[in-house]
Structure 1
C-alpha cells in the first residue's frame, strides 16, 4: 500500500541510470557527498573527491551547498563555487559534481534541486527511513548486497502500524497478532541461524585466505630464490659471452688492422708517385705563369710609372700654387693679427686711462678700494626725490624757508675717507659736511672685473694695494678692540650721562658730529613722512650757510625744534632718528 508525498531532494538528470536517482534531504540537516565510506551519499567515482560537497539545512528551512576543497569542484547553474563558500540553493538550480570525462561529453553527476518533489512510496518505507536517518547510504547498499537478515523488523513495524491504525477490541485480531509475532520470531530465529552459518563460512573463508596468503608468501620466497639463482647464472653466462666476444673482436680487429696497414702502404706509395708527377707538372706550369706574370707586371709597372710621374708633376704644380697662396694668407693673417693686437692694446690703454681718470680716488689717486659714497642726508624731503638730489628746508632768522638742491654722490676709498675724516668732517671734493656714507657694491664688482683685463703689472699693483689696506684695517681694529677693553664700565656710563645732560644747551653752542663705526655697514636712508624744520640764528657757528650755500651769515642761532621720535638723536650731525646713520 503506497502514498504520494512531497519531499525536498536532488533529482539526477545527467544520464538514464537509476543509481543515485534521488538524494533525499528531508530527514537530515546535513548531507555529505563523496567517495569516502563515512559520507551520507557514497559515490565510488574517481571524479568525486572523498568529501566532495556538503549540503546544510538553514534555520529558514533553505539549503546551501559548499565545495569542500574538492579536486574537480562544484558548479551551480554552470558557475564554479569558491572553496568553503556556501551558496543558497533555489528550486530548479542545477548542481554538478566533478567534470565531464571528455570535452565532448556531458557531466555524469548532475542533479536538479527540488524543494517539493511529489513521489509515491510504500508506508513501511517511511518507517524504515525513520529508523535509518543517521545510517549512511553506503551501509544500506552493503546490507542490500548481503542476505536479508533483518526483514522481520520492517514487517513487524508494518503490522504494528496497521494494528494501530485499524485497532479493534476483537480477540480475533489479538490472536492474529500473536500468531504473526510467533511466525516472525520463528523466521527471525531461522535468519539468525542462517546468519551464524554465514559467519562460520566467513571465518572458514578467512582461515583459507590466511593459509593461501602463507602459501603465496612461501611461493614468493621460493620464486625469489630461484630468480636470484637464475640471475647469477645469467650473469656468469653474460661474463663468459663477453670474454668470448672480446677475444673474437680483438682477433678480427688485428686481422683488419693488418689488412688496412698493407692497403695503406700501397696507397701511400701510389700517392707518393702521383705527388711527384703533380709537383713536376705544377712546377712547369708555375714557371710559365710566373714568366708571363712578370712580363705583364713589368708592362703595367711602366704604365703606372708614367702615370705617377704625370700625377707628381701636377701635384708639385698645385703644391707650388698652394704654397704661394699660403704665404699670402699668412702675411694677411699676420697683418690682421698685428692690427688686432694694436687695437686691443690701444683699447686696453684707453680703458686703463679711462679707469684711472673716472674711477680714481681723489684722495689716494688709486683705483677705488671698497668704494664709499659720501652722502649729506637731511630730513624733511619730498618722497619723490632721488638719492643724488636731496632737498632740505632751512629756516633763517627772518623766518624764510629756502629750498636747496645738493648733488652729493662723491666716491672715495673706504680707508681714504676714514683717514680723511680724522682730519676734517667735510667732503674732500665739495667741502660739504659728511653725515653718512654707503658702500657701492656695483663699483667694487665693476672695478674687480675690469682689472682682470688689464696688464699684469696693473693687476699686481692693485693686489698689493688691497693687501696693504686690509693689513692697515686689521691693525686699526685690533688697536680699537684693545682700547675698548681697557676702558671701564663707569667711564662709559658717565660719558653717556654727560652727553645726555649737555644736549639741551647744544642749540646755541653747536652740534657735535657723531659718525658710525668704520667697520659697520650703515642702514639704508629713510625719508621721513613730515618735514623737519631747523631754526637757526646768527650765533650758530657749527654749520654755517657758507658751507652749504656759498655765502656767510652772522645772525645768531635760535633754539632748535625737531619733530620726530622722542629720545633719539638729531639727524643732522648726530645719528638720524629714522635710519640710525
Structure 2
C-alpha cells in the first residue's frame, strides 16, 4: 500500500478492493480491478454502462476513464464528455489525469434544473469483496439486456412497417424475437411452438402456457399444442400494441427532453449575444468619450501654443522698440544711462563720445553715465525665451565687445 488513504495497487488480505459506491444507493458498487482500465459511459464497449433514466444524453458514450498510474495509484480522466466530471465538487479539465484518494466524491454529469444533485454521484471506498458482493454489473454482463432492447426496437419497426401483416406474419416475428436469445422448444405433430423466455420479451407477451414451460425441451401432444397456439395467437395484438405504446412513450419523452435542452441552449446563446452587444455599446461609448476628451485637450494645447507665440511676438516687439540701442540696433549690452535718461550700450556710447560729447537722441551734453544692471538682467532673461538663435547671436556680440575693450585698454 502507498500513503494512507491513497488508491494504490495491492489490496489487503481477505479480498479488499477499491470501488465506487453510488451515493444514496448503498447496494450499488463499481469495482476497480487492479491492473485493468475502467471506462464508464452509455455506449457499448465500456466497462460499466450507465443509462440515465432522467436525461438519456447526460452521460456521454465514453464519459470518463479510471486507471492506475506507474505507482499503482488510481486516477480519473474526463474523456471530453459533454456534461463534465466533477471531483470533490470541482469540474475536471478534459483529458487531464487527476489522482484519487479514499473518500473522494465523484459526480458524472450535471444536476437537472429541478434537482439538487446529479443522477450519478459516487464515493471512492475500500471494501471487502467477499462481504459486499453488491457490485454493479459490467457491460459484458449487460449485453443480453441491451440485445433484448435492440430486438424489441427491431420488432416495433417491423410492426409499424408498410402493409398490414396477418396473424401468421406476426407469429413469425414474435417467434423470431423469442427464439434468438433462448433455446428452441421441440414438440410432436403439426403444432410446433417456440418457447418465449420472459426475460427477453415484455412480461405482457408471456402467456399462461409459456409461464409453465421452461427453457428445456418440452414435449406435448397435438391437442395441447393447438390450444397453446390459439392462446398465443389471441395475445399477439394486445402484446404488440403494448410494445408500440411503450416505445412511443419512451421516444416522446426523449424528444421532449431534447427539445427542452435545445431551447435552454438557444436561450443561453441569445443571452450571451445580448450581453456581448451591450458590452460592445459600452466600449463604443467609452471610446467616443475618450476621443472627445482627446479633441478637447488638443484644442486647449493649440490655444496655449497660440498664446505662447503671441506673447513671444509681443515680447520681441517690446525688446526691439524699447530695449534696443539706436547706435548698433542690437539689444543693450552692458547698458548705461546718461544724465538725460537715455540708455545706450557702454561700447557704443564710448565710441560715440570720441566724436561728440552730446546725447545722440536729445543732443544734450553728456555729463555722466550710470550702468543699468536691472536692464541687463531683464534683457538676458527675455532673450532666453526667444530661442537659441537669438541667444547665440547676443553671446557672440558680448564676446566681441569684451575683446575690443581689452584691446583698447592694452593700447591705452
Q: When the two structures are superposed, what TM-score results if normalisation uses the length of structure 2?
A: 0.37
Q: When the two structures are superposed, what TM-score results if normalisation uses the length of structure 1?
A: 0.27
